[in-house]
């Protein structure tokens, strides 16, 4: 007889929850999880395979626990005078964020974000036994520095998660907000820059704020701009003491030798890997312009996706697109849907399908 969750001595705070996960359907055009839909260039893939082949020769041994070469590679990629002592990495940025919450949140502590924001944040908080609390954004999803500081000061959270640009709205974040929040709290401030490479070319990273702020961390991922979602590599930059705190909670040898080899090779080819970013931004802007022409209300986006309002029945529109072989995301925001900017062909397929729905209704 098969048992159910209710038959097991599960933690009470986990009862009734469902696992995180967007639909994974075998449709021709999947634009629902903000992946980089461009494949890794052949020449880079060959280089990565060469490095993995070398790593396989010693796969009977544990990998470098401190993943030193990879941290050096991330520091070089990020610049800003960073060195390996200021870098951390994990199996995707969600694991990096989990390490932060394991070290600085946990039972009896609170984790704060401005809603709506990345749906994994409350789940990560819950998983570490912390309480998730939210602040509010302005009507256009932006955050004013003074208002942000006031909300943080009132709630006094232990960890603040700032998504920049924000997911699911794509809203850029003014660095003045980061500065104001940091000054208003005794807690840890994390700026999640998962989509930073898709922002304006003159955009300034929160990495510029690290000096003299030991409670600040800037998280990044290779899943988006680097088209490395399947490799699961996330990383962050922070004060060396902050990095030491994460060592206390990580699992031993948590980054495999093969993961380290693949990521180092990809970073070595960063110029080639990032060449596709401009094309993705072009398609994002094309989506925005066409959505406006179709009568929708797309929101400003500094990411590789567009959230758009003016959808009378999101579920019906989502289903109609699904039936046409197009998978996008219903994030639960009333009268809104979200679509990833894919290749030119994928973008055309989405826009043509959406236009056909409008003309048929």
Q: pLDDT digit string (tens) for 107-136?
A: 999 999 999 999 999 999 999 999 999 999
Q: What is the mean pLDDT of residues 171-183?
A: 97
Query: Measured between alpha carbons, how far is 321 from 340 in angstroms, rounded to an integer?
Result: 14
| Domains of the chain with bracketed CATH | 22-39+275-360 (3.90.1150.10), 42-268 (3.40.640.10)
pLDDT given for residue 13 in this prediction? 87
Please give the share of the chain, as a percent, with pLDDT higher than 90: 91
Which of 112, 136, 140, 139 has the alpha carbon at shortest distance from 124? 112
| Contact between 335 and 310 (Cβ < 8 Å) | yes
Per residue in 295-333, pLDDT (tens digit) is 999 999 999 999 999 999 999 999 999 999 999 999 999
Predicted pLDDT at 285:
97
d(CA 260, CA 258): 5
Cα 329 to its chain centre, rounded Å, is 15
Give the number of other CB atoms < 10 A from CB of residue 188. 24
Helix (H, G, I), strand (E, B) or coil at 50: helix
3-state DSSP assignment of residue 94 = helix
**Rounded CA gap, 232 and 305, in Å?**
20
Pairing label, strands 159-163, 110-115? parallel
Backbone angles phi, psi at 146, to 5 degrees: -65, -45
Task: Please tell me the pTM assigned to this model.
Answer: 0.95
pLDDT grade, residue 18 (50/70/90)? confident
Find the mean pLDDT for residues 239-251.
98
Residue pair 27/326 in contact by the 8 Å Cβ criterion: yes
Residue with tokens 């232990």: 158
pLDDT, averaged across the chain: 95
Residues ≥6 apart with Cβ < 8 Å to 170: 195, 299, 300, 301, 302, 303, 305, 306, 307
Q: Looking at the predicted structure, is the pLDDT value of residue 243 above 60? A: yes
Q: How far is CA 197 from CA 110, 134, 181, 193, 279, in A?
A: 30, 27, 23, 8, 12
Q: Is the dihedral of CA 195, 63, 259, 271 positive or negative?
A: positive
- Residue 218 and residue 89 in contact, taking contact as beta carbons nearer than 8 Å: no
- Which residues, other chains included, contact 38 with Cβ-Cβ below 8 Å and sequence gap of 6+? 227, 276, 279, 280, 343
- Residue 153's CB: how many other CB atoms inside 10 A? 14
Q: Would the pLDDT of 359 be above 90? A: no
Q: How far is CA 148 from CA 95, 115, 152, 166, 358, in A?
A: 26, 12, 6, 15, 39
């Amino acid at each position: 007889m098969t048992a159910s969750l209710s038959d097991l001595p599960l933690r009470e705070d986990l009862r009734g929850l469902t696992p995180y996960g967007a639909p994974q359907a075998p449709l021709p055009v999947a634009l629902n999880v903000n992946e980089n839909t461009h494949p890794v260039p052949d020449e880079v893939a060959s280089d990565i395979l060469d490095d993995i082949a070398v790593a396989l020769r010693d796969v009977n041994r544990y990998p470098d626990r401190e993943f030193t070469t990879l941290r050096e590679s991330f520091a070089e990629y990020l610049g800003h005078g960073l060195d390996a002592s200021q870098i951390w990495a994990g199996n995707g940025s969600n694991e990096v964020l989990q390490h932060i919450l394991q070290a600085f949140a946990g039972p009896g502590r609170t984790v704060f974000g401005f809603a709506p924001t990345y749906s994994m944040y409350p789940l990560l908080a819950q998983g570490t036994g912390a309480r998730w609390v939210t602040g509010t954004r302005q009507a256009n999803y932006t955050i004013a520095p003074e208002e942000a500081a006031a909300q943080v000061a009132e709630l006094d959270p232990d960890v603040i998660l700032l998504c920049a640009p924000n997911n699911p709205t794509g809203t850029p974040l003014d660095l003045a907000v980061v500065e104001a929040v940091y000054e208003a709290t005794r807690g840890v401030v994390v700026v999640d820059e998962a989509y930073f490479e898709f922002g304006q070319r003159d955009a300034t990273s929160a990495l510029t704020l690290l000096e003299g702020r030991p409670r600040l961390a800037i998280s990044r991922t290779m899943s988006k701009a680097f088209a490395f979602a399947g490799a699961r590599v996330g990383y962050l930059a922070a004060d060396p003491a902050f990095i030491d705190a994460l060592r206390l909670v990580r699992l031993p040898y948590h980054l495999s030798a093969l993961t380290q080899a693949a990521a180092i090779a990809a970073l070595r080819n960063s110029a080639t890997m990032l060449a596709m970013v401009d094309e993705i931004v072009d398609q994002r802007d094309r989506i925005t312009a066409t959505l406006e022409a179709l009568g929708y209300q797309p929101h400003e986006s500094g990411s590789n996706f567009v959230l758009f309002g003016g959808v009378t029945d999101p579920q019906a529109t989502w289903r109609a697109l699904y039936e046409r072989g197009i998978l996008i995301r219903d994030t639960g925001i009333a009268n809104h849907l979200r679509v990833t900017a894919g290749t030119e062909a994928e973008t055309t397929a989405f826009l043509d399908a959406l236009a056909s729905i409008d003309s048929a209704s």
